[in-house]
Structure 1
């Protein structure tokens, strides 16, 4: 197995100003091509390469290996901006944060992974976890794993294996070259279609033990980015997609409300009491959820930078803020849909993109309503009652 096949010629721009320019260019291209991505059902490699130039795919690589870790709030703000244009592409871009998991790999493996490039696009199809055959030096992996978002543009893939006593029951992620497995085109959905979250099939693929890690396991590298809670961060980046989608929907609501007359020639929508009330409430709800989201993010990041203890309460608040962001964003998009009126029922309506995509984060296992109860339990000093929380 080769370690990965990232194109070392595609990397982040050298200066901050050049990266900002590359990010602006990526947004312009996305505006033009988002329908294409949705129709074909995946974000292509050439657009992933554009995002690499912005620095998003080295944003969670430890500085020790040449990475340039971003503060989580900065990274998620970029995900929001992408999602404001196209939430499904924002979802794929959000996995630029997922290399934080790699910090649990042996240090020698990390050095090898990053020796060619630190701009690596990773995608994981982790569930259902499969029981691999343990052999000398590693595992023989066979099975089918679902929901590998961004797999068609990834340099390296992860598949989920069942843990055991050595991992305290926590799942194992095995890293594989995309060339060694099959992408099963089974992503037939209404929302987040462009994420291309297809299944991955492997048939007795050998994975060396040093290319496996415990998901959410203790990092082997000590830096602020590896101290920040990895599982909470995984939930947060998906919630930031929802925040961007909700803002995109409100952008449309404001634009429509500014029109002077309605299609029937009557009072413009923006002059109707229900429209003005709905816009105000949606704006207040979204900003409130977003403020909580970034407040706790920055608080915990400050602890990570100063190497101060990050408690279970901190982790629970990160998870709570992520759930609140996803659930409130869902309500905001539904409010925008209500305000838009009958025209919004058409598949071609601009709001359909945000409506269909923004419903998905709130459905994700890490952001569903049951995580409110789990967060409340931890804040009260009780057991969360659900796996891998907080």
Structure 2
């Protein structure tokens, strides 16, 4: 990647990463990425990555944005997770007039969603009366726009709707008390009866109204990819730390330094090979599918399944790389001040996401063998 994410931006990605590195402990302590850091992400172009070009955005090819998330996550996984929602291609399913209003102040719009559990909403004239509580709204404190999940019906072919609200219409329930990804601020959302017009709702993963290549890319698969990329960065950070630590000091007992021990070199090399191999598969299938949609064709079911498979696989392999680095690091890694603790906690949370669970292997295997997958909306 080049330093500059957007030619007109006064802030480069490298400058943002220095800020993230300096303040990442603050993110965990406050359980959110502060607004001024979100503003820096905006200025660096992170939140225009999925904005249509017709509205002044960059509509980046997925692999370009995934590399941005990976780089940020290498410095801090929570910051990478929050930045990943710059991939909100779902919004392209809104009516064009709504998108024009949404981006009227500029293309850098921060979206956060609390989409589950989907709630039933009262149908009223011209829209919906929205009320209920939703979980896991990552980055909601820095959002310009918040989406909540509504149960679909006949008009949506059973698919859930997303209703969009302004932050002042939503109560944030401060209950993000977790061991990893603490800085994501993935709190619950509560809405006390707010009217949302039809034109500010969309079917999640529905047909886009914007005809640009990015919005022909599989939206659900992309949502999984941006989360999986966090563990690419975290795994890379952990291995880099272990490599540096192994090269630089003798053991506390006076034994030879770690790099002089065969088991250390062997396990580092195995973890490196596994991470780089999974990473290559991850980006290769992303570029293949984007080339397909860019040419005007629709991605095949197999391609969609491989996107999902690559995402789950890279999340698991990234976490395994962290675990390997932690184990090799010995006693020093048990101290809370050791960065390996942060890598271990963050990577373990990424793999718990429903989009990245072991069931995805089953779904992908089913598609590869021409069997209908049992997971709803898998492809």
Inter-CA distance 214–16: structure 2 relative to 1 (3 Å threshold): closer
- TM-superposed CA distance for 1:15, in Å, is 8.0
Aligned to 2:342: 353
Contact conserved, 1:27 with 1:85, CA < 8 A, in 2? yes
Equivalent position SS for 2:66: helix
1:49 aligns with 2:49: no
Equivalent position SS for 2:376: coil
Contact conserved, 1:22 with 1:54, CA < 8 A, in 2? yes
Contact conserved, 2:10 with 2:43, CA < 8 A, in 1? no
Aligned to 1:139: 128
- TM-superposed CA distance for 1:263, in Å, is 2.0
Q: Which one of 11, 22, 27 corresponds to residue 37 of structure 1?
A: 27
Q: Which one of 239, 245, 248 corresponds to residue 256 of structure 1?
A: 245
RMSD of Structure 2 on Structure 1 (CA): 1.4
Equivalent position SS for 2:230: helix
| Alignment length (residue pairs) | 377
Contact conserved, 1:22 with 1:50, CA < 8 A, in 2? no
1:316 aligns with 2:311: no
Aligned to 1:61: 51
Q: What does the per-residue CA deviation read over 1:210-266, in whole Å, with 9 as the maximum and x for residues that have no partner?
A: 100000001111110101111000000001001000001011101101114122221
Inter-CA distance 341–19: structure 2 relative to 1 (3 Å threshold): farther
User: Whole-Å Cα distance in 2 between the matches of residues 15 and 129 of structure 1?
Assistant: 35
The structure 1 segments of at least 4 consecutive aligned residues displaced by more than 6 Å after TM superposition are none
**TM-score normalised by structure 1 residue count:** 0.94
Equivalent position SS for 1:309: coil
Aligned to 1:10: none
Contact conserved, 1:149 with 1:198, CA < 8 A, in 2? yes
Aligned to 1:334: 323
Q: Which one of 61, 67, 71 corresponds to residue 77 of structure 1?
A: 67
- TM-superposed CA distance for 1:312, in Å, is 1.0
Q: Which one of 95, 100, 103 corresponds to residue 111 of structure 1?
A: 100
Equivalent position SS for 2:233: helix
Aligned to 2:273: 284
- TM-superposed CA distance for 1:53, in Å, is 1.2
Q: Which one of 277, 295, 304 corresponds to residue 284 of structure 2?
A: 295
Equivalent position SS for 1:160: strand
User: Whole-Å Cα distance in 1 between the matches of residues 107 and 239 of structure 2?
Assistant: 36
- TM-superposed CA distance for 1:119, in Å, is 0.2
